Amino acid sequence: MKKIKIVLILMSVFFSGQLLAHNESRVIEYKSGDVTCKGYVAFDAHKSKMPVVLIIPEWWGCNDYVQMRANMLASLGYFAFAVDMYGNGTIASNPEEAQEQSSKFYNNAKLVQERIQAAINKVKEFPMADVSNMAAIGYCFGGSMVLNAAKLEMPFKAVVSFHGGLKGFPAKNDIKAKILVCHGASDSFVPAQEVKEFKEEMTKAHADLVFIDYPDATHAFTNPQATETGKKFDMPVSYNAAADKKSWEDMKEFLAKNLLK
């Protein structure tokens, strides 16, 4: 575990090109109905107003990896909030537990909205968080959820999905949020037909969509633990450093265009 944390810290430095600039980060509790959630917030306390970026984790839960991404976003000048979708700070230790937790959300739009809205409500308690200028990014399960949030017309100017599933709730109206999909070209969890149908749906919903395929990238390509996880649980996932770096740069440009303009 200590080795993994060191790797994640080094990744943060590598991507930012400097030591992390933010000076506030911590786990915070908040409520979603009767459920106590444990999210993670990171920001620069010296800034008076910052655009907000919510991060929805992979199906493992709000773990060290997503907290690292929050730190990286804070270093870019964003108020970053990693969302605890499952509640109680639940972290899955194997695919069966992850499947059990994540499956509650795929056909339950109300639950998705409640958990994301609870995080937004908590962010509103921070006066330096500009909730009128907000985006959401997500990884794998989280990627699916941010795309659903856009379809559900939640208050995001932009959403970014990293290796997320593309099936989801139907878009009832035109989609207002700008969308960036960072997709692994070799992702066996998301077949070509699913990609085709998603793009057709986005066209019908008049979505402003940027869809990028990353060569040789599989599912979970941004997570440095993915290769080890794939071997441990016999899953077709692996880390791809080139795709990870390029997709992060693509996200930075996309967020800057839509939140910092």
In whole angstroms, what is the distance from residue 118 CA to residue 11 CA? 30
Could you give the count of Cα atoms lying within 13 Å of 26 in the half-sphere of its Cβ?
A: 7
CATH code of 173's domain: 3.40.50.1820
Over residues 9-47, the pLDDT tens digits come to 445 444 444 445 557 999 999 999 999 999 999 999 888
Q: Which domain holds residue 178?
A: 2-259
Single out the residue of 6, 10, 67 nearest to residue 41, CA to CA.
67
pLDDT (tens digit per residue) in 222-257? 999 999 999 999 999 999 999 999 999 999 999 999
**pLDDT at position 7:** 46
pLDDT digits (tens, 9 = 90+) for 56-110: 999 999 999 999 999 999 999 999 999 999 999 999 999 999 999 999 999 999 9
Give the integer Cα–Cα distance in Å for 115 and 102. 13
Query: 0.85 cut: is pTM over it?
Result: yes
Cα first-last separation, the chain: 40
Hey, which residues does 27 pair with through a beta bridge? 40
Indicate if the pLDDT at residue 214 is higher than 70: yes
What's the total number of domains in the chain? Answer: 1
Encode pLDDT of 179-197 as tens digits. 999 999 999 999 999 999 9
pLDDT at 260: 80
- pLDDT value at position 33? 96
